[in-house]
Amino acid sequence: MFSYTYFEDFKMLGICDSEVLGKVLHGETDMVISESFYGKDKCNESEIETLLEKSTNINCIGNKIVGFLIKMGVVDNKDVAVIDGVKHVQIYKV
């Protein structure tokens, strides 16, 4: 299961593994996986494609969601950052 927020005005999607929601990841810069950005709604893999299609800016964090996007061919593994053992990627459509 994934947690997400879609910001209609910006066509921006914040999506994360539900398990990392509310955690603080420590690295060069600490990253708070906040419910206000990532967690207003829930979705599963079958709903992700629709969310991706309508988004132009996508911020993803979590080993499951990033792994799924790699499997879908949306993301290349070389573009993935790892923060405190958790995969993170940002996608921008121009």
Considering the entire predicted model, what is its pTM? Answer: 0.93
Over residues 30-61, the pLDDT tens digits come to 999 999 999 989 999 999 999 999 999 999 99
Radius of gyration of the chain (CA): 12
pLDDT of residue 38: 97
Q: Which domains does the chain have, with CATH numbers?
A: 2-92 (3.30.1860.10)
Task: Give the 3-state secondary structure of residue 45.
Answer: helix
